[in-house]
Amino acid sequence: MQKVALIYNPHSGNHTARRLAQLQEVTARLCATGIDAQLLATHAAGPAAAQALYAVAQGCETILACGGDGTVNEIMQGLVGTDAALCVLPQGTANALAADLGIPANPIRAIEILINAKPTRIPVGRITYKSLDGSTASRYFTVAAGIGADGKFFSTLDSRLKRRYGYLLYVIEAFRLWATHNFPMFAATIRYKSNDALNPVASEEQTHLFSQLLAVRITDFGGLVHRLVPGAALLNPGLSIIATRTRSRFRYLRFMFAVFFSRHKYQQTFELFNANTVECAVIDGSTHKIYVEADGELLGTLPVKIEVCPDALTLLVPQKKK
């Protein structure tokens, strides 16, 4: 790190006064080590990506995203395809990417680790979807993209309550969704490479009906979820797809508790696919609105295409303890 911009959302997470004081201390510590650091606040979703791009144009080679997964996701939109490095300082309600990277929640401890983090080029997910205004849009993601019950979950979250109650609201809303949602089905076409050794470029595809689909890019979500998908990782060239075939509330609840206690298995009802791309659409004749989210932010509705963009982003990855 030589020149760093710390970008934060004052409305991400809670205890805003304490968070700002912590960020000011982090900035001061960076400056004390000879790093040119500046603290920038963003007050809406779109400007975070623009602020990151402007900071890069002003010579910042590292952008420190200070907040939760939503803040990180916004800033990342401006950095994909550039040489600038993204660095994560967890301060939000959900900090799945930080948990996966092993970055501590204490910002002072975190910055001491991040100063010596290694710039690593990673692939990122990209989701193309129908936005809420009816237009087609696309977005990059690093944690996960969800369709169905997962998207519905984020469509109902109240941002004010989220700031007030934090992660507890996620748990409450998950159970409220379970009790009230009818889990409508949609069609998903999953494409993956064939295991045919004589024809390694061959691909196969399968179309299924699911009530929930989650395309995962990380190993450890932290919180109650932890290691949701065995084998999922930021450096993987493909997608780890969790797909749910049932509409049964009982089966959903049983699987949720199994996840909380790290005893979940992927079988016929809850399946795991390793895919290159997946495309989802509303079933013919269905009147259900199927919601879509990425990195914990509501995006829009079906139809959707999810894929992986190789060599897309430079991420500062903390060195693992030996």
Enumerate the β-bridge partners of residue 125.
141, 308
Judge if 211 and 248 occupy the same domain. Answer: yes
Q: What is the pLDDT of residue 322?
A: 40
Domain span holding position 38: 3-116
The overall longest dimension of the chain from CA atoms, in Å, is 63
The residue from 116, 137, 162 where one domain ends is: 116
Residue bearing the bigger pLDDT, 194 or 281:
281
Mean pLDDT of the chain: 88
In a domain, 322, yes or no: no
Look at residues 51, 99, 49, 218 and name the one whose alpha carbon lies nearest to residue 38: 51
Tally of CA atoms within 13 A in the half-sphere of 319 that contains its CB: 8
Q: How far is CA 146 from the centre of its chain?
A: 9
Judge if 53 and 183 occupy the same domain. Answer: no
Q: How far apart are CA 155 and CA 177, in angstroms?
A: 11
Judge if 142 and 216 occupy the same domain. Answer: yes
Look at residues 213, 210, 175 and name the one whose alpha carbon lies nearest to residue 294: 213
**How many domains, the chain?**
2
Judge if 250 and 145 occupy the same domain. Answer: yes
Q: What does pTM read for this prediction?
A: 0.89
Q: Which of 12-21, 204-213, 269-278 has the lowest mean pLDDT?
A: 12-21
In a domain, 265, yes or no: yes
CATH code of residue 129: 2.60.200.40
145-179 confidence digits (pLDDT tens): 999 988 888 887 766 666 665 667 777 777 888 78
Instruction: Name, in order, each residue with C-beta under 8 angstroms of 57's C-beta and a sequence gap of 6 or more.
Output: none
Q: Averaged over 290-308, what is the pLDDT?
A: 96
Cβ atoms < 10 Å from Cβ of 43: 9
Q: pLDDT band for 194, please (50, 70, 90 cuts).
A: low
In a domain, 57, yes or no: yes
In a domain, 320, yes or no: no
The residue from 94, 116, 138 where one domain ends is: 116
In a domain, 202, yes or no: yes
Judge if 88 and 197 occupy the same domain. Answer: no
In a domain, 317, yes or no: no
CATH code of residue 86: 3.40.50.10330
The residue from 98, 116, 134 where one domain ends is: 116
